[in-house]
């Protein structure tokens, strides 16, 4: 769940804070980041611990239907996005390994969150449809990320953001889960926020997937046509 100044996709930690709040928390967390650096802690270690905390919060609390406390734990560890990013900036680091680790662990965290929701609906939540929707959110999120990464790997820009990116998927889901958890504190009707959010994320992810596939197909056709034209020009010389 790191944010070390690498990658175009905003991390969920940054997405959950506006620019003014980010500036405030950056000032607050800078001394803590500096303390960790002095203690020999690396940004990658913070990334690993942050992801472990998110996974634990999602897979321990969500399957029990404890959405409020699960979201609180996840949100606390999400702040590792700001801490390790701050550490990396202080150290002047921007590595390919860090970018790889960041992206890989983001997928792990996403899987844990939607997996925890799926486990709840498969068990105590007793709703097979919402279990399937949660699994679809998990799978489609992974595929949406893969389409961009694979397109870029074959030399295409994949110049489309899409309707629902990773940050939007997680913010909508976590906020809805946190509020839905207030049902156990006596707030009536609020538990329906989570199913609504999951359907929104599922539909939005499907639309985003289609957008990216269409974009990659168009860019690939244009690149192939340009390559053939270039070859034809070279042959004519």
Confirm whether residue 111 is marked as ligand binding: no
Residues 232, 49: Cα–Cα separation, whole Å: 54
Closest to 198 in 3D by CA, of 176, 168, 180, 182: 176
Confirm whether residue 224 is marked as ligand binding: no
Tokens of 72: 């609180």
Residue with tokens 């944010």: 3
Confirm whether residue 89 is marked as ligand binding: yes
Confirm whether residue 106 is marked as ligand binding: yes
Residues 1, 53: Cα–Cα separation, whole Å: 10
Confirm whether residue 126 is marked as ligand binding: no
- Cα 5 to chain centroid distance, Å, stands at 15
What is the rounded radius of gyration, in angstroms, for the C-alpha atoms of the chain? 20
Catalytic residue annotation: 106
Closest to 119 in 3D by CA, of 94, 92, 138, 145: 138
Confirm whether residue 127 is marked as ligand binding: no
Element (H, E) at 215: helix 193-236
CA distances to 224, 226, 231, 232 from 237, rounded to whole Å, are: 20, 17, 10, 9
Confirm whether residue 150 is marked as ligand binding: no
* Sequence ranges of the binding site for Mg(2+): 81, 84, 102, 106
* Sequence ranges of the binding site for a CDP-1,2-diacyl-sn-glycerol: 44-47, 85, 89, 95
* Sequence ranges of the binding site: 44-47, 81, 84-85, 89, 95, 102, 106
């Amino acid at each position: 769940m790191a944010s070390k100044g690498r990658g175009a996709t905003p991390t969920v930690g940054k997405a959950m804070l506006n620019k003014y709040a980010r500036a405030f928390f950056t000032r607050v967390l800078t001394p803590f980041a500096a303390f960790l650096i002095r203690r020999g802690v690396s940004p990658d270690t913070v990334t690993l611990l942050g992801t472990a905390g998110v996974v634990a919060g999602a897979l321990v609390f969500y399957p029990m239907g404890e959405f409020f406390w699960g979201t609180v734990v996840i949100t606390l560890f999400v702040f590792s996005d700001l801490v390790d990013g701050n550490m990396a900036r202080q150290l002047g680091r921007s590595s390919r390994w860090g970018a790889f680790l960041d992206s890989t662990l983001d997928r792990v965290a996403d899987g844990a969150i939607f997996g925890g929701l799926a486990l709840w609906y498969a068990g105590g939540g007793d709703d097979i449809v919402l279990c399937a929707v949660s699994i679809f959110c998990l799978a489609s999120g992974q595929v949406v990320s893969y389409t961009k990464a694979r397109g870029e790997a074959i030399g295409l820009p994949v110049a489309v953001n899409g309707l629902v990116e990773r940050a939007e998927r997680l913010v909508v889901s976590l906020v809805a889960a946190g509020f839905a958890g207030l049902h156990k504190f006596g707030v009536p009707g609020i538990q329906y926020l989570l199913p609504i959010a999951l359907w929104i994320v599922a539909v939005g992810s499907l639309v985003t997937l289609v957008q990216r596939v269409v974009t990659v197909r168009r860019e690939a056709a244009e690149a192939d046509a340009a390559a053939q034209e270039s070859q034809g020009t070279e042959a004519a010389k």
